[in-house]
Structure 1
Amino acid sequence: MSYLSIPVLVILSIFILISGIFTVKQQTSAVVERFGKFLSFRNSGLHFKIPIIDRIAGRINLKIQQLDVLVETKTKDDVFVRLKISVQFQVIREKVYDAFYKLENPHDQITSYVFDVVRAEVPKMKLDDVFERKDDVAIAVKSELNEAMVNYGYDIIKTLVTDIDPDMQVKEAMNRINAAEREKVAAEYEAEAGRIKIVAKARAEAESKRLQGQGIADQRREIARGLEESVDVLNNVGINSQEASALIVVTQHYDTLQSIGEHVNSNLILLPNSPQAGSDMLNNMIASFTASNQIGEEMKKQNAKKAIKNKNSDH
């Protein structure tokens, strides 16, 4: 044996020894075969195998995985809709053998079952029901998948309907309906607000009129009280009631003219505007009051006579 072949044999021996050492990551299981036949599973850590004779056939991920499946189907009211189903699944540790050897591609198998269940459930519902009962669809998918995949060593943790996407024209129609509904509600609120404003304004005007009337009544009451006091003062100095009334009317007449004259750009004209006119107005008022009193007294006398006559006729 030559000196050159010794280092080659040493290097080859080291390589063979190193190939018999391997590691397995956390939450992973390695499948070891011997001459193509299943030998064992190796979990996380450092492991040894017989070089050349044993080999690692593959590794199984034991973590929870998620598969998103897009399914297009038709609802009961003939609306095409796309659903995104998220399936969370995990390999059962006790059934790693089934998970590795029974299924070539578990993702394709899960996808097929999801398509089958969704296209069986959604056509039974109207579009609005699909949105409202999406959890029922998810539960149906999970139940069907669990029953089928447990035989292959997979556990379905959870299924979720994460997106519901109707046809574009349907979405536009739904948006128009929603917009119209919101406009209707907004119009109702605006109408109610307008009604409240009108009622509040009417109440405010009514209160204003009431206060204005009360103010006018108070004003006239005070004017009457002032006139009464003025007449009493004039009577005390020897002026009778008729002369006192005439004097007050003339005084108020000139006070009114003075008030009008204080406004520079006033277009108001007081007719008649002579003192004699004020005196005539007072005389007419007195005559009217006197006539009214006489008519009232005469009517009282006639009513009293009728009452006596009716009383006598009853007896």
Structure 2
Amino acid sequence: MKYNDVAFQLVPARYDFLGNPHRRSFEEYSSVNNFELHYRILGHLSSVFCVAFDKSGSYVVTGADDNLVKVWCVSSGLLRFTLRGHAAEISDISISEDNTLLATGSVDRSVRVWCLQTAAPVCLFRSHSAIVTLVTFLPFVDGTVRYLASAGGDCTVNFYRYCSADREFESAPIQFFERTTAGPRIVSTCHSPGGSLVVFGDTHNKLRIYRIKRDGIEKLIDIDAHTDRVDSLEWAHMGLRFASGSRDGTAKVWKFECNSWMPIVLHPKVKDEKTASSRNSYKVTMLCWSLKDDFIVTAGSDFILRVWSTASGEELRQLEGHKEDAYVLHSHPVLDDYIFSGGHDGFLMVCLIWDY
């Protein structure tokens, strides 16, 4: 990111019936218009593509193409740990819900689990035959039973069951080999707020949904969801809804009703739309839900952010500002109608997605 070049969407004030600004308007304005650079840290020897806060917000974990994982103190900016062991680039990182374990996936085809408090290695799995694309701790809780999931370029989904009391992992994962044709890779995932349902998306246009149980994993359904690879998945903050985004140029909101997953298709209004066969046709690069799940924001290959109604699928607004693709979208954790976007143009945008 370019730390001196931060783009902000203007924040319109909100007024009560007497014409006075709401108290919340001042709070929002102060919150989103007074960002300052806290630290700039040069700590890796190559590009950093994985970043995650721990559950307390006290530490930030980074994974880079120098094969290293580092844990930093947020308040001081000082390095706490450097985790060595992977033999290739770090592809994903995840922190357990109880804030005790850190999982890392790598291009070296391995999944490693570390103690977040001491940086000691806990477990090593070599259960993939290709690069590990995703690792995620599930918030599923049943007694002391917990799960870590991983997926990779071999189109295999692995679930690692462990005991939260002693952090002991079972020796072998529960595996699902999902390659039915040549070439598919799993590239996206999301899970329900309680972790009992998990969705994976692949490069052959499919969604695969699993149910997590104490005594094992149940494969529920495969869905032919899109006409191109499913690059982005995100579950709503509440309820049985998730969203998928694809290179076919569409996003879909999936809702479970009448014992099936029903989609609402989000069709973008694209200027000079090209044919689907064109290499330069419009693509959805990333998506996120608003904090209250009223809206979905999608980023596209035309560099525009689009705001959608999750109830009707109607496109409500377009937000411009990025000059290149945006692959990072997150809703503000407190303010309902704000999202953050990060692009390959080096800009961070803070946008008001809807003003009532």
TM-score by shorter chain over 0.5: no
- TM-score by length of structure 2 reads 0.17
Greater fraction of residues in helix:
1
The structure having more radius of gyration, on CA atoms, is 1
| Larger RCO (CA within 8 A; separation ≥ 6) | 1
Q: Which has the higher strand share?
A: 2
